[in-house]
Amino acid sequence: MAEKKGKTFTAETSVITCNMEGIVQQYAADAADLFGWSPEEVIGKMSVASFHVPENVPVLVPRLLREAVEKGKFEEEVTLIRKDGARFPAVLTVRPMFRDGQQIGFMGKTRPLAPPAK
């Protein structure tokens, strides 16, 4: 939990969007709270693969992107990683995003199953 403007904030879900290359385009305040990177560090600079444990990236990331496109949604319990290296279980939901009939990227929603270790 983090303090935000005098009140306790718990990141129950976070939303991140990326372009077709996986570069973060939107990174909500709750995502910053959950993952530990600031929006300035992430938006336009980091790949969404950075939020996954390295050993899962080669298999999980291509599979979740493929399933999101083919089925319209990927949803599964995964292990994610914070800036400080702490790992935590979460339900990850990924959907493709479209504009004018063309896919422009993906939107991921993360719901942690346990508070991330600090």
In a domain, 95, yes or no: yes
Residue 24 CA to residue 18 CA, distance in Å, equals 4
In a domain, 15, yes or no: yes
Please say if the pLDDT value at position 6 is more than 50. no
- In this prediction, residues 34-60 reach a mean pLDDT of 95
In a domain, 4, yes or no: no
In a domain, 66, yes or no: yes
Mean pLDDT of the chain: 87
76 with 94: CB under 8 angstroms?
no
Q: How many other C-beta atoms lie within 10 A of the C-beta of residue 86?
A: 13
In a domain, 2, yes or no: no
Q: Would you state the pLDDT for residue 83? A: 96
| Residue 100 lies in domain | 9-112
In a domain, 16, yes or no: yes
Domain count, the chain: 1
In a domain, 45, yes or no: yes
Question: Which of the four pLDDT bands, split at 50, 70 and 90, describes residue 18?
Answer: very high
